[in-house]
Structure 1
Amino acid sequence: MAPLDAPQHVALNQFPVLEDVLLLGGIRLTRLAERVGRTPFYAYERSHIATRVVTLRQTLPEGVHLHYAVKANPMPALVQMMAGLVDGFDVASGGEMKVALDAGMPADCISLAGPGKRDEELRCAVAAGVLLHLESEGEMERAARIGGELGMVPRVAVRVNPDFELKLAGMKMGGGPRQFGVDAARVPAMLRQLVLLGLDFHGFHLFCGAQNLSAAAICEAQRLSVQLALRLAEHAPAPMRMLNIGGGFGVPYFPGERALDLPAVADGVAQCLNLLRQASPKTTLILELGRYLVAEGGIYVCRVLERKRSHGQTFLITDGGLHQHLAASGNFGQVIRKNYPVVIGNRVHGGPRETVSVVGPLCTPLDLLADRMELARAEAGDLVVVLQSGAYGLTASPTAFLGHPAPLEVLV
């Protein structure tokens, strides 16, 4: 790995190039920018996302259900497209639930997870028939009360906080003290109370971690998740109808990272499916994926406003920044900041190159999109493109900071 004070290089990813200009959805970037009308903007490529889903289905064993985690990218047009590609949606708020329902996904194929669900969110989910992933005993009691007030029986699953974690995960969501789910040791008692409350039990949800590029680590966590769910199912008030084992499939962002070995993961999923079919044949196995489906199919585009020299270093000052793409700035979970893949979208290959830092218009040194990267020489008006930007981009960013206009989003 290069030392932190050395220029960082980037290889262009899957988007093709025509006449030294990036193409997205068959449209030249410069033409796309003209159509959008202003920068910054996000653009998501339909064909790439659809191909990713098709490839995943062809590789995974038959019988596994694929759910899209809407939090990865809740753009309504994209969610509507995904409704025709996947088996269900997983949402994390009332707002996402509305987007999912408006997209045409049947309510019984939508699940609502997340700690701290408000009563109005629980009420909407119960009324619509959305599956509740219960994160605590208190939430279970509130759901039962709301169901009684509505004269409806809430559909529920228990989110389990396991005693193990997803090794090598970029973000750990289970194992040890967590705000997510119910500690595995407490689940049997919760299931006994669930019977008394008259809730409609469907199964379990285990989500150990996110952004993992190790097939071995993912397979181990999935195997342990299925084994734990089968043990807990012995205490359940009804047969386990579904088991959501999350996802955690990562995508490469930084130099030296390698794409996930999907066939190896599929082999592990097949073993989990066989284990489940032997012990609980009527249980549907669900994979919940967000980032893996959409991250590599999106870009963030901003425009160079001016070049600036300071103490021998060149800065490209743009109209975009961390307020619109927090993850690219390194402020969305990175311990040591690394550069996302960045290119000058209308000068991708050839011509003079230079080492520059790309910064935004905000009054903070954290507003950094690329730190000392080798890029094509850019002038005011050129387009800076941050690749791998289809997930956790706009809605994961502090767009209200300093009051700049919000970026646009397009699906091409």
Structure 2
Amino acid sequence: MSRAFIAQTPGLHFGGAAVRQLAHRAGRTPFFAYDRSAIDARIRKLRSLLPSGMHLHYSIKANPMPAVVGYLATRVDGFDVASAQEMALALDAGAAPTDIGFAGPGKSQDDLRRAVATGVNVHLESETQLRLVTALGWELGVQPNVAIRVNPDFSVGHSGMRMGGGATPFGVDVDQVPALLRELEAREVALAGFHVFWGSQCLHAPTVILAQRQSVELVVRLASDLAAPPRFVNLGGGFGIPYFAGETALDINAVCEAMHEWLPRLYECLPGTKATLELGRYLVGEAGVYVCRVIDRKRSGGRTFVITDGGLHHHLAASGNFGQVLRRNFPVILGDRPDTASNERCHVTGCLCTPLDRLADDVDLPEAHIGDFVVVGQSGAYGRSASPLHFLSHPEPIEMLV
């Protein structure tokens, strides 16, 4: 992995004395550390580029650490959640219920009861969810706040994960939306907004721009026969971050410049409608590191293995998701000697009894000694909470917001 790519990874300034101080604060390894200043810098940059009136939501699933959610509560305009527990995190952080969107294809009746009672915006993904929400509204004596999550009739390339277009469990197909709108009217349930989520982890600015333009046109078309414009339109996010050598950061300047061109069309057709971007990893992914300690080193078959007290049970994405993807190395440094020239090619592994427990393959590092810190960058999103923490029953990692 090139030193240039390592150098552009924001979280990896946690090296040398800084990583030792973090380890002292944590009390043990492994741990995740999230940097307030990096989060703030990302949000300030976005705010400086986004058109006036564009609202910014944080998608809690990216990193649900309560301290992170609480910190972001005063820096974003709302939250998007995918469970009742995430909804509780947002409310505990001080978010107004109407600034919270609850999406997900499999909401339980208990989830929906809590959402309706609280007054958050329930993003409907099926007719079944509408029936349940309506019944709960009558039961609780409240008017539910609902939006329709739309499965768009377009699909995009250059996206790490496609979340819409074609057959999918997410959202309501475009051609089924008019019937759902009529059902809403018949049930006397007011529509608060639309939600269009086309994909995630996209680094290709032209793709993001095209998807956003198509999302706006889709919503304008669907809302054309409404008695009044929707209160909000959630245009999703999809902004990616570079994880691997050879990847280039998303050209956020180009994306935001295009927003200045297409957003007036939305406001002209749907006056008073609030436009929202829903971002997760783009806000916090580069602000975090995962730190573990070297507990052994050995030679086998002519190769050097550096064995740590961490691994895939804490950071599944860095290990390659149980072999489900072609694994590539996240940015990795030896925290004790970040500026020392690399003089050893090695495999950095975890402590689990599976050959899939690899944090880095064939990586060039300074010679690692027992007790040294291994620091994995780009670890602020989909790290601890997206990993099989109980696999092999090792201790869970600590999390810190610093």
Give the TM-score category using the shorter length: over 0.9
Distance 2:73 2:323 in 1: 29
Match of 2:80 among 90, 100, 104: 90
Find out whether 1:80 has 2:70 as its counterpart: yes
1:237, 1:163 → 2: CA distance? 24
Q: Could you tell me whether the CA contact under 8 Å between 1:15 and 1:22 is conserved in 2?
A: no
Instruction: Give unmatched runs, 5+ long, in structure 2.
Output: none
From 229, 235, 239, give the equivalent of 1:245: 235
Q: Distance in 2 between matches of 1:86 and 1:340?
A: 28
Which residue in the other structure is 1:3 paired with?
none
Counterpart CA distance in 1 for 2:164 and 2:259 is: 19
Which residue does the alignment assign to 1:385? 375
Query: Which residue matches 1:68?
Result: 58
Amino acid at match of 2:73: A
Q: Cα distance, 1:263 vs. partner?
A: 1.0
Instruction: Give the equivalent residue in structure 2 for 1:403.
Output: 393
Distance 1:365 1:16, change over 3 A: closer
In structure 2, the residue matched to 1:263 is 253
How far apart, in 1, do the equivalents of 2:130 and 2:356 lie? 41
Shift of 1:157: 0.4
**Match for residue 142 of structure 2?**
152
Partner SS, residue 385 of structure 2: helix
User: CA–CA distance in 2 between the matches of 1:271 and 1:202?
Assistant: 25
SS at 1:287 equivalent: strand
1:279 aligns with 2:269: yes
2:6 maps to 11
CA RMSD of aligned residues (A): 1.5
> CA separation in 1, counterparts of 2:342 and 2:232?
56
Contact 1:8 1:372 in 2 (8 A): no
Closer/same/farther in 2, CA of residues 222 and 46 from structure 1, 3 Å limit: same
Indicate which of 304, 307, 314 corresponds to 1:314: 304
* Matching residue of 1:43: 33
State the TM-score, normalizing by the size of structure 1: 0.94
Q: What is the match of residue 15 of structure 2? A: 22
Is 1:346 matched with 2:336?
A: yes
Counterpart-to-counterpart distance in 2, 1:220 and 1:335: 27
Do the aligned partners of 1:8 and 1:374 also contact (CA within 8 Å) in 2? no
SS class of match (1:331) = coil
Count, aligned residues: 400
Moved over 6 A (4+): none
* Alpha-carbon distance in 1 for matches of 2:64, 2:268: 37
2:349 corresponds to which residue? 359
CA deviation profile, 1:94-114 (whole Å, cap 9, x unmatched) = 110111111111111111001
* Unmatched 5+ stretches in structure 1: 1-6
- SS of 1:11's equivalent? helix
Give the letter aligned to residue 200 of structure 2.
A
Select which of 153, 164, 184 maps to 1:163.
153
Partner of 1:4: none
Match of 1:232 in 2: 222
Q: CA deviation at 1:141?
A: 0.7
Give the TM-score normalised by the residue count of structure 2: 0.97
Shift of 1:234: 2.0
Alpha-carbon deviation of 1:127?
0.8
Determine the C-alpha separation between the residues in 1 that align with 2:12 and 2:307.
26
Q: Does 1:180 align with 2:170?
A: yes
**Greater displacement, 369-378 / 352-361:** 352-361
Which amino acid in the other structure matches residue 15 of structure 2?
Answer: L
Distance 1:16 1:117, change over 3 A: closer
